[in-house]
Structure 1
Amino acid sequence: MKTRLVQDGIFTLVEDITTAMEAPEHGFYWIDADVEDLEILQPLYHLHELAVEDCLTEEEQRPKIELYDSNYFIVVNSIRFDDEEIFLRALNIFLGKHYIITVTRQKINELRALKPVLWEEEVASADTFLYHLIDLVVDNYTNVGDRIEAKIEKLEEDILMHTKKSHLNEIIGLRSEILWLKKVLGPQRDVISTLNKKELKLISDPLKKYFGDIYENAVKISETFDTFRDLMGNLREAYQSSLSNRANEIMRIFTALTTIFMPLTFITGIYGMNFEYVPGLHWEYGGIAAVIFMFIVGMSMFVLFRKKEWL
């Protein structure tokens, strides 16, 4: 657990956690904690037992906001995409008047990326800290959406060029990830909408307009993932169509080859009959002539099929 006094974007480490119980003359306290630290923080900051229980027992939480007398409990999900699987990490936030507590089980990239933003913007209030943090979380969804779109385009190109059985597993897996993510985007969008529209004493009125901008981005992201869901359906249809076309192409080639060998088989069948008098049977060059004749017949049929684009 690390406790920092944030004044105009400048961080000062605080050794004694009890110091952060009193409001500073300027700035606010940021307490970056693990779930194990809640045992210490709960009595000091009067954290509601239900909110603490959620942090302790639920690794993957549904985004939500709960309003208590002295603080707000907010849950948002950070996203990470490693080109194979989408991971969500719960970011638990306790917002007070002069402090903000972030509680996580794993490392959250947005928390590390937040520090230079706070310094650049000279942040001096807890609600402004919350705004920049949620803004980074939503922006990361946009980045992941761009990567998913690129992967869908590449997958579509691969299917059209060289269809493989493994492509179906990729389509099903990615579609499942997108549908699962869609269930998270709705509640998270509602949380941001609450910060934008509802009268909240711990959120300053000028800041609500900025939360409105984040809400618009969250809506766009939700609509984008709706589009991804439709694209995955189209991609599956393209995969099935490509397999069908490939099977038809193979059958067409096999049919043409069978048709070419039919007259050759007919000729060899005649010369294989046990008759004494067969044309050319006793001719010195009869075998060579028969082979040349079959070659000419086969090549003629091949040229004819190519001309008619059957092969």
Structure 2
Amino acid sequence: MARFLKKFDRKKGLPPGSLVFVGQQKTDKPRLRIIDYDISMMRDEFIQSIDDAAWTKETETTSWINIDGLHDAELMKRVGDNFCLPSMVLEDIMNTGQRPKIEEHSDHIFITMKMLSLDEAQGKVKSEQVSAVLARNYLITFQEQPGDVFEPVRDRIKRQNGRLRKFGPDYLLYTLIDSILENYLKVIETMGERIEEMEDEVLANPDPKLLEEINLYRQEIAYVRKSVRPAREIISRINKLESDIITADILPYLMDLSDISELSVDSAEIYKEMLASHITTYNMVMGNRLNEIMQFLTIFATIFIPLTFLAGIYGMNFEFIPELHYKYGYFILLFVMLAVTITMLMYFKKRKWI
């Protein structure tokens, strides 16, 4: 399946808002989990049906409902029915090729982003779509599969003295976005370490395998930029929202996300330029090596031109060539050839051609 653009064949001819999963199914069965908490209590459990989470709409506590697995259209329909989500929002959640975006509705805010991970063995970047619906007293997150960068957030919730327990779902959303952005930096930093190492290798040993690796990293950095640049736009829009779902106490924290998103974009751009520079340097070094080889061959051929001329004269089959019958003619010719060679080499050296 294409990485930069998902195929939309399944949605062809269907009306907007149709609940059709677009992407690669990464889990057999959706998994639902609720973490409900306030400053004095915390409840963490897995549930079998989204109907079992309907009570979270009526409580004064903060509820985090996480759903792993986006392929079940019936489950998504039940989510929409229980939490009054528009079909267009549900459609975007089930479309794993959806561009990162943010939408403000009357009773909730919808955000979808990409969560990145790096397979260091293959040097490949993998992405997973993460969507979130923020309401006044609950947050629903949707992921393609179990396993994420949110485990430290869950650990912080379990600590009663943590700041998370004192704030509502808007601060929880900030914390999750912060984890995603910090993971962007981690992925870029890990790739960047190898990209910077390539700089010396390009000059010292520019072989085809290194060129292949440079091209691989160029593709992966482009894939990272596809996620981090829209994320910067989302953070910019979050800071401009005038929704009462996001309290004034959280605004300073949201402003802090701008710095991380800008750093992620800047880092990705820097490494993109470095890789382009590596390609230029590689071509330059290989060009210089080719020039050195051609210079050597040219000098070698130039030296043999007069030697071939002399050998050609005395290799002719004329009977009356005086030197042919001279006792020391052969040795004199070798001496003349050696003298011509040395003279030409001295001339090339003087002109700094060698």
* TM bucket normalised to smaller: 0.7 to 0.9
For 2:133 and 2:183, the matched residues in 1 are separated by: 22
Match for residue 63 of structure 1? 100
Q: Is the 8 A contact 2:60 2:137 kept in 1?
A: no
Aligned pair 1:2/2:32, yes or no?
Answer: yes
TM-score (norm 1): 0.82
Q: 1:53-132 to 2 correspondence within 5 Å? A: 53-56=91-94, 58-82=95-119, 84-119=123-158, 121=162, 123-124=164-165, 125-132=168-175
For 1:140 and 1:268, the matched residues in 2 are separated by: 73
Distance 1:260 1:6, change over 3 A: farther
For structure 2, the residue ranges without an aligned partner over 5 or more in a row are 1-30
Aligned pair 1:160/2:203, yes or no?
Answer: yes
Per-residue deviation, 1:107: 4.3
Distance 1:72 1:264, change over 3 A: same
Q: Is the 8 A contact 1:5 1:12 kept in 2?
A: yes
Q: Is the 8 A contact 1:10 1:122 kept in 2?
A: no
Aligned pair 1:13/2:42, yes or no?
Answer: no
For 1:163 and 1:242, the matched residues in 2 are separated by: 7
Match for residue 43 of structure 1? 81
Q: 2:287 aligns with which of 218, 223, 244?
A: 244
Q: 1:110-259 to 2 correspondence within 5 Å? A: 110-119=149-158, 121=162, 123-124=164-165, 125-165=168-208, 170-172=213-215, 174-179=217-222, 181-259=224-302
Distance 1:40 1:299, change over 3 A: farther
Q: Is the 8 A contact 1:138 1:218 kept in 2?
A: yes
Q: Is the 8 A contact 1:89 1:108 kept in 2?
A: no
Aligned-residue Cα RMSD (Å) equals 3.3
For structure 1, the residue ranges without an aligned partner over 5 or more in a row are none
Q: Is the 8 A contact 1:196 1:209 kept in 2?
A: no
Distance 1:157 1:55, change over 3 A: same
Aligned pair 1:28/2:68, yes or no?
Answer: no
Amino acid at match of 2:279: R
Q: Is the 8 A contact 1:77 1:90 kept in 2?
A: yes
Distance 1:298 1:11, change over 3 A: farther
Q: 1:265 aligns with which of 308, 331, 347?
A: 308
Q: Which moved more, 1:224-233 or 1:246-255?
A: 224-233
Q: Which moved more, 1:168-177 or 1:42-51?
A: 168-177
TM-score (norm 2): 0.73
Distance 1:115 1:5, change over 3 A: closer
Question: How many equivalent pairs are there?
Answer: 309
Aligned pair 1:52/2:90, yes or no?
Answer: yes
Cα displacement string for residues 238-289 of structure 1 (whole angstroms, at most 9, x for unaligned residues): 2332333222212111111112323432343233222454537564x76567
Q: Is the 8 A contact 2:188 2:267 kept in 1?
A: yes
Q: Which moved more, 1:39-48 or 1:225-234?
A: 225-234
Per-residue deviation, 1:59: 1.6
Match for residue 6 of structure 2? none
Percent of aligned pairs with the same residue? 26
Q: Which moved more, 1:64-73 or 1:180-189?
A: 180-189
Q: Which moved more, 1:298-307 or 1:181-190?
A: 298-307
Per-residue deviation, 1:297: 5.3
For 1:3 and 1:24, the matched residues in 2 are separated by: 17
Distance 1:141 1:70, change over 3 A: same
SS of the residue corresponding to residue 111 of structure 2 reads strand
Amino acid at match of 2:323: P
Per-residue deviation, 1:80: 2.5
Which structure dedicates a bigger proportion of its chain to helix?
1
For 1:29 and 1:19, the matched residues in 2 are separated by: 13
SS of the residue corresponding to residue 79 of structure 1 reads strand
Amino acid at match of 1:118: I
For 2:322 and 2:245, the matched residues in 1 are separated by: 106
